[in-house]
A and B are shown apart, each in its own frame.
Chain A
Amino acid sequence: MSLVLAVGVLTSLAMAIGLLLAWATRRFQVAGDPVADAIDALLPQTQCGQCGYPGCRPYAEAIASGDADINQCPPGGAATVTALADLLGREATALDSRYGVEKPAQRALIDETRCIGCTLCIQACPVDAIVGAARYMHTVIAADCTGCELCLPPCPVDCIDLVPLPEPLRSPRRPAPA
């Protein structure tokens, strides 16, 4: 009799606790990936792909899931590596040179005497910073360009140069283009 009582008490207690936990996990559900959000907020948003991922958000998600190391972002440089290390409580290692080297803030400049209006650079730009159309002059919007260099390889006449930014625009963290 007391065995039946003991089994009954334990079973009902376990079931009650199970239901309570089911409610709790539903109530405290987390939408999205807040860790990836926090990491993405520290990345420079150049969307250049030098880290090996197609953009800053995929790289942030890879760091959050442990697939990528924190030292793969050349545009972010050592400052970003340190910020990520502080956020995640890890060692701040040196920038991985396999993914590129840190360069000073720069932007692309199209030489208008050589541009043929082929639109290949417009298609390559990840932040849509080049204005132009087929057989019309192409121009880089300086405020939107992140210096990611993705427009240089497609240009058939090699008319795009990288020029350093003047001092006031040279900040390590760029806001996302509006």
Chain B
Amino acid sequence: MTEYALLLIGTVLVNNVVLAKFLGLCPFMGTSRNLDHAVGLALATGLVLTLTSGLCWLAMHWLLAPLGLEYLRVLVFILIIAATVQFTEALLRKLAPVLYQALGIFLPLITTNCAVLGVALLNTYAQRSLFAALLFGAGSALGFGLVLVLFAAARERLDASPVPAAFRGVPIALVSAGLMALAFMGFAGMDR
């Protein structure tokens, strides 16, 4: 039980998928200044992350490994991720049409989010059980969402601050992200 709790805390804070592993930086930087849209995107990405970590584990252990086709894992994982994103898009279009239109191109771009594929592959390399893989996916989703919301809020305030002209926009955002990553390093060793 404690090992699962530690896995969760480790994934959300210590080995944060964005700030410690540096995966999924595209939506992280491209997040709109709007906090509500950042929350929406974080939820959509989180749903895809959790679903695909489970589905990819199943594909690996029930389909690829018994047939000796582990070398196809990247291809098959991408296939599953693309299908899950399409599914999430259809769901979002029905349940939250205004958010769907506001997110625009960022929804299908979840397919190319390296955090999603990265989590699926990391689960394979660490040879986790299905429950641990799902927990890892959910933890990564939580960590991703947490950092995305924090960063969107910070960016809203950066927009109103007197930033030097050369730094305005992406440069100051990257500097802030680096500082945030430094701060998250304070969690190192917490999951031992």
Contact surface of A with B, Cβ cutoff 8 Å: 2, 5-6, 9-10, 13-14, 17, 20-21, 24-25, 27-30, 34-35, 38, 64, 87-89
Contacts and interface: CB of A to CB of B under 8 A. Distances in A.
B93 interface: yes
Contact of A9 (B67, B80, B83, B98): B67
Contacts of B64: 9
Contacts of A14: 79
Interface string B24-45: 0000000010101100000000
A21 B91 contact: no
A103 B23 CA distance: 53
A91 to B, nearest CB: 10
Interface in B43-89: 59, 63-64, 67-69, 72, 75-76, 79-80, 83, 86-87
Nearest to A27: B90
A28 B32 contact: no
Given A5-B67, A24-B87, A28-B93, A38 B72 contact: no
B101 interface: yes
Interface of B: 32, 34, 36-37, 59, 63-64, 67-69, 72, 75-76, 79-80, 83, 86-87, 90-91, 93-94, 97-98, 101-102
Contact of B76 (A13, A21, A89): A13
Given A5-B69, A9-B69, A89-B102, A17 B80 contact: yes
| The 5 residue pairs across chains A and B that have the minimum distance between CB atoms | A34-B97, A28-B90, A28-B94, A17-B83, A89-B34
Contact of B79 (A2, A13, A27, A88): A13
B94 A30 contact: yes
Given A10-B76, A21-B86, 13 more contacts: A5-B67, A5-B69, A9-B63, A9-B72, A21-B87, A28-B90, A28-B91, A28-B94, A30-B97, A34-B97, A35-B98, A89-B32, A89-B36
Contacts of B37: 89
A96 to B, nearest CB: 22
Most buried by A among B75, B83, B93: B83
A29 B89 CA distance: 11
B101 A64 contact: yes
A88 B76 contact: no
Contact of A24 (B63, B69, B90): B90
A40 to B, nearest CB: 13
24 contacts: A2-B69, A6-B69, A9-B64, A10-B75, A10-B76, A10-B79, A13-B59, A13-B63, A13-B79, A17-B79, A17-B80, A20-B87, A24-B90, A25-B90, A28-B91, A28-B93, A28-B94, A30-B93, A34-B98, A35-B101, A64-B101, A87-B98, A88-B101, A89-B37
B154 to A, nearest CB: 18
Contacts of A38: 97-98
A49 to B, nearest CB: 25
Nearest to B96: A34
A34 B92 CA distance: 12
A71 B78 CA distance: 43
Nearest to A8: B67
Contacts of B86: 21, 24-25
